[in-house]
Amino acid sequence: MHRPSPALSLATCIALLAGLLTAAQSGFILLRGDSFCLNDGCRVVEELTRVPPLVVNLAGLLFFLTVLAGLRVARRLPRRLPRFVAPLLLAGLAVEGVLFAFQLFVAGAFCSYCLAILAAVVLLNLLLGLRQTAHGLVIFLAALLAFARLELQRPGQSDSAFRDGVFASRTGTITGSDHHLFYSSTCAHCEQVIALLRTNPGPTVHFHPIDEVQGLDLVNAQPKSGYSATANRALLTGLGLDEIPVLISRTGTGLTVLRGEAAISARLGQSPVPAAADGQSSVSTLPPVPGLSPEPGGEGCQVSSDCDDVPAATAQPAAP
């Protein structure tokens, strides 16, 4: 009696589990209208792609069911793996390479569900032997290198990049003003900017925290549901910004970006923007996107770390 190899048995189990996972995700989308994911990366990636998540998952389900059918045939017939299985898995790896590159170079965030599917496709290729693994590695690296050379739309140039990260909005008394403030609950310079807004009701400001917050100490600030701190971090990363506070004003010709407490306070206080001091507080206009990273230190806090000597917080961190 023919016994399938352990590698073939394991590949069959992986294809089955991946098929069940994509089927469950498709059902979840149909029932809830949204994807299930363990982090905010899925939401960021979905908002930056044009293909509906349901279509992507149904295509993935069909892919894994086809692979599973081929593997089951091979389990019954010794050394008779259908010829379509190997190239199909390579095609799947090429697609996953593009999706991984998109998350890495464009979205600036990783989708945990997408990474699980990538792991399944990689394992299936590995279990088909060294030749399949070598071919798959070449295809995956080629997709990454090709994507890295492309000039693609940055997150800051799409409406969803701003919409998903809004924690609260304050409608001002000045018509035509529309600003997006990126801040942290542990940033002393951000607190000073928000303190200015408490005495100046003029500007309309949308607040984008880069960490988890529960509230905002500002009169007439209307909270929004389901904001994504990851989306805000991804947007700043896409614009080459690693320091807060950041004020982005959207206009018909592009984005106006101000960095640092002094420049932002001057704009929101409706006074002339002061000249940059050692590159710390400055204003830039997009496009182009590159070249916006502020110098270290100055009137801002690093996105990747908390500020020292923090005054009363602008918003209390979310309870663990």
Tell me: do 268 and 165 sit in the same domain. Answer: yes
Q: Mean pLDDT score of the chain, rounded to an integer?
A: 77
Confidence at residue 165, expressed as pLDDT on a 0 to 100 scale: 85
Q: What is the pTM of this model?
A: 0.53
Tell me: do 226 and 262 sit in the same domain. Answer: yes
Q: What is the pLDDT of residues 16-71, one digit of tens each?
A: 999 999 999 999 888 887 778 777 667 667 766 677 888 889 999 999 999 999 88
3-state secondary structure (DSSP) of residue 295: coil
Tell me: do 249 and 125 sit in the same domain. Answer: no
| Parent domain of 136 | 6-148
For residue 164, the domain's CATH number is 3.40.30.10
Q: Output the six-digit token pair for 41.
A: 């990366």
Measured CA to CA in angstroms, residue 120 lies from 21, 226, 240, 280 at distances of 11, 30, 33, 46
* 164: DSSP letter: T
Tell me: do 31 and 74 sit in the same domain. Answer: yes
The average pLDDT across 106-114 equals 79
**67 within domain boundaries:** yes
Confidence at residue 150, expressed as pLDDT on a 0 to 100 scale: 66
Tell me: do 24 and 126 sit in the same domain. Answer: yes
Tell me: do 181 and 255 sit in the same domain. Answer: yes
Tell me: do 133 and 178 sit in the same domain. Answer: no
Question: Which is it for strands 205-209 and 179-183: parallel, antiparallel or unpaired?
Answer: parallel
Q: What is the pLDDT of residues 136-148, one digit of tens each?
A: 999 999 988 887 7
Tell me: do 122 and 240 sit in the same domain. Answer: no
The average pLDDT across 298-313 equals 61
